[in-house]
Amino acid sequence: MLLGQNILQPIPRTIDYDREKAVLGKHLFFDPKLSRDGTVACVSCHSPTSGADTRAASVGIKGQEGSANAPTVFNSAFNFRQMWNGAAQDLKDQVRIPLHNPREMDMDPGRITKYLRSDPYYGPRFEAIYHRPANFEDMSDSIAEFEKALITPDSSFDRYLRGEGQLPEKAIKGYKLFKRLGCITCHNGINLGGNSYQKMGLINRYHWSEKNPDRFSLTHRPADKNVYKVPTLRNVALTAPYFHDGSAPTLRDALKKMAHHNLGFDLQPDEIEALVAFLKTLTGKTPTILQRKDSPK
Ligand code: HEC
Ligand code: HEC
């Protein structure tokens, strides 16, 4: 999807994924034993209700605070890259990052392989599904397969796009504003984001810190300071706090700052209310793989 296409698309109702691998990946996603001291699982920072973290900065093993707000893993399969700066090509490639991060899970492939092979559930499951002993690559694959299943279709906005339902008047007003004010130039496609890198502070400067997980931290090009992958707005009513630094505690606050820094004007109170009403229609159904009680190990 290209920037400037200015098209919003509904989330498909189903997505192809391998159910056996995804169920295995679900166990892994919820398993704190994948961290060095056995206290932090993927789900510790990516909650099952929103896929995101309610804390401004995530907390890893030994209570260490990270430097970024955890984005939602829901619908992340539709993002063109993963992480705020796009450091991971895709979901499978992303898995190594939190596992290796000494401030998050602090594990290495050797330790993980040893744990998975000796575990009475994982050992045989990996053999049965991947036809070889458990290893880091297959573990990443099964977690990615689980994450693929984390889609949230059938939001009232998607039903409206499909011509299956109406939206409240205020939400329609917000949708029109979203297009007219130019939010849609950066937040578009299936995820209303997730398909381009853009600057935070395009018009009015946003403070910058060396700790930022921005494109600059990867490319070291000055123009990439405060450039991030545009976050998805899917389920955004559930994913407070906002921005890479978690600095906006509420959606209203995030909208004010977004308009000021990236569009160069201040929103009127009634515009904020209309935009919030629109953004609330982007809350979809809980992913089915989370609704179902898959047999615990
Ligand atoms: C200690 C908290 C923490 C743990 C544990 C954690 N994450 Fe994250 N996750 C984050 C943060 C913070 C980010 C954003 C970091 C960045 O982009 O610099 C992130 C980003 C992501 C993203 C990228 C989403 C996007 O839109 O770019 C995915 C996918 C993800 N995590 C999956 C996982 C998986 C799978 C695990 C377990 C193997 C995991 N996370 C464990 C905090 C955590
Ligand atoms: C020039 C591109 C651009 C425009 C225009 C833009 N945004 Fe954003 N938006 C971004 C980027 C980049 C971020 C991430 C900023 C950060 O984390 O520092 C973001 C973040 C957000 C967030 C926070 C999401 C989260 O999970 O943290 C919301 C909400 C949002 N934008 C809504 C809007 C609305 C509504 C408009 C129109 C009034 C708009 N944006 C206009 C690029 C843009």
Percent of the chain with pLDDT over 70: 96
Judge if the beta carbon of residue 212 lies within 6 A of ligand 1: no
pLDDT at 67: 84
Instruction: Say yes or no to pLDDT of 1 above 50.
Output: no
pLDDT band at 296 (very low <50, low <70, confident <90, very high): very low
Quick one: average pLDDT of 25-33?
98
High-pLDDT (> 90) share of the chain, %: 95
104 C-alpha to center of ligand 1: Å? 9
Instruction: Please say whether the beta carbons of 42 and 51 come within 8 A.
Output: no
Q: What is the pLDDT of residues 247-283, one digit of tens each?
A: 999 999 999 999 999 999 999 999 999 999 999 999 9
Which residue's CA is the closest to the ligand 1 atom numbered 28?
Answer: 73
pLDDT at position 2 over 60: no
CA of 83 from ligand 2 middle (Å) equals: 15
pLDDT digits 0-9 by tens, 165-209: 999 999 999 999 999 999 999 999 999 999 999 999 999 999 999
So what's the pLDDT on residue 61? 93
Ligand 1 centroid, distance to 35 Cα (angstroms): 14
114 Cβ partners below 8 Å, 6+ apart?
none
Task: Record the tokens describing residue 82, joined without a space.
Answer: 């993963």
Instruction: Tell me if 185 CB under 6 Å of ligand 2.
Output: yes
- Rounded Cα distance between 75 and 283, Å, is 12
> 86 CA to middle of ligand 1, Å?
12
Residue 292's pLDDT is 66
Tokens found for residue 163: 């011509």
pLDDT the model gives residue 294: 55
Which atom of ligand 2 is the closest one to the Cα of 69? 27
pLDDT score for 293: 64
Sign of CA dihedral 9, 188, 1, 52: negative
User: From the CB of 193, is ligand 1 less than 6 Å away?
Assistant: no
